[in-house]
Amino acid sequence: MNITHPFVDADGDKLREECGIFGVIGAHEAAAVCALGLHALQHRGQEAVGITSFDGAEFFTRRGLGHVADNFSSGDSIAELPGTTAAGHVRYSTTGGAGLRNVQPLYAELASGGFAVAHNGNISNAGHLRGDLVRRGAIFQSTSDTEVIIHLVATSRYPNLRDKIVDALRLVEGAYSLILMTPQGMIACRDPLGIRPLVMGALGDATVFASETVALDVVGASFTRQIDPGEMVEVDFDGKITSHRPFAQVAARPCIFEHVYFSRPDSIFNQRSVYESRKMIGVELAKEAPCEADLVVPVPDSGVPAAIGYSQQSGIPFELGIIRSHYVGRTFIQPSDSARNSGVKRKHNANRALVEGKKIVLIDDSIVRGTTSLKIVQMMRDAGAREVHFRVASPPTGHGCYYGVDTPERSKLLAGRMDVDAMREFIQADSLAFVSIDGLYRAVGLAGRNDACPQYCDACFTGDYPTSLTDLGERHNREAQLTLPVNSKVA
């Protein structure tokens, strides 16, 4: 269960990043550095964690369900992972589902030696590729799309391992940031669109890779640069760094939701402070959707920066009208329906003395299914708020993500089946407004969305997917075949 992002209820009423990755080569006790880096990325995945290390002769792997601290807090757990090179992964499940067999890094013995992969993203033609591989005799040990990459590397006819990796990645579509460990060193790469993030840093003589800059900060590494879209960076055991650009150059489309919600606010994404972007979203929201109110109240914690921006732009005082409890554990017992339904109040409670009799502007980062927003609005009303106006620091999320985000089907997304007025009625707010797509682009430092060539992947808002979606298309074709009358034919 996710406990970092508040208000995640049994319906999964928040979008969740699939995972975070971290790698280090050339560091004393590399596994300990890796565990610390993964702890800083815990918000990106709380279902499971794994670390693989290499001591120059052998690979060692330890994986477990739960948080980093649950699995790597003791000296004994780190002692099981010797060597100066390590890569790790924290995850939620999207493709492949839950279970220890899907916990990364995934490891395999290839003809060229050991090979470990940590992957952030989602391969949108993994099912198609997997079917081809199985028909050719491949035997899979997991249901993760990442294992498809391993099989493609193993079956490539190129003699050089780096060329095998490039050959494999040319067959996949979708999003990937990868950290790969080989007997020759470490390789980090991003897909040509750069949908998922990956940065590089230096820790003394060691080289570090991570999903976010905050992980570099926490381990004491200095930020070097981001890995560019379509770039492959190779580091050998002597510390030599080589950059390769084996893919055709295309216009980058990094995920704009990193600015909205996924990244920690103290990270830098795409050369911009995430905190500053979120605050500026609130500024744009105040310009586009002003409101007469007494207080601006964030839905903690993800709504705080946008609420600050909204307050500063509108002149309406910012107040903590909702107080978050930081002591709600993953194993909290919920013995009855009434207890389960009180989940929001266990995590948050209205500051009644502050909100009673007031007109409130609530600021949240997104609305997914809408069930949580309904509970929050009702909580404010129960605390005596006179009016509750809801403002959302992202456009309506009306489309699914197929690039590494755990998104409900479109039929379960509130914006996928309702217009804004119907959504307002559903959550029972006095008014509801979302930042526009152009306002979101302005908040991240651009003039607006370039519809001819968007600068970010914003498919969850616009339905404008930057890659083919082979598996989805094949699934729709199968479903269409199943619904055909018995005697019908397809032209």
Residues with a catalytic annotation lie at 19
The neighbouring-strand residues paired with 388 are 360
Q: E strand or H helix at 304, and its extent?
A: helix 304-314
DSSP string for 177-193: EEEEEETTEEEEEE-TT
CA 186 to chain centroid: 23
Helix (H, G, I), strand (E, B) or coil at 74: coil
For 350, phi then psi, to 5°, come to: -70, 140
Give the Cα separation of 361 and 227 in Å (integer): 39
For 393-491, where are the E strands, in sequence order? 405-406, 431-434
Give the Cα separation of 103 and 58 in Å (integer): 20
Whose CA is closest to 395, among 453, 359, 448?
448
DSSP string for 147-158: HHHHHHHHH---
Give the Cα separation of 393 and 370 in Å (integer): 15
Six token digits for residue 357: 């009799």
Alpha helices in 410-469 (DSSP H): 414-417, 420-427, 437-443, 459-462
Six token digits for residue 348: 């948050």
Q: What is the dihedral of CA 91, 97, 101, 107, to 10 degrees?
A: -60
Give the Cα separation of 100 and 144 in Å (integer): 11
Six token digits for residue 42: 């815990």
**Given CA atoms 60, 65, 68, 69 in this order, what sign does their dihedral have?**
negative
Whose CA is closest to 189, among 237, 153, 143?
153
Q: Which residue has the tokens 């309406």?
A: 316
Whose CA is closest to 165, among 210, 237, 121, 231?
231
Q: What is the dihedral of CA 25, 231, 445, 438, to 10 degrees?
A: -130
Whose CA is closest to 340, among 10, 8, 6, 5?
10
Give the Cα separation of 431 and 423 in Å (integer): 10
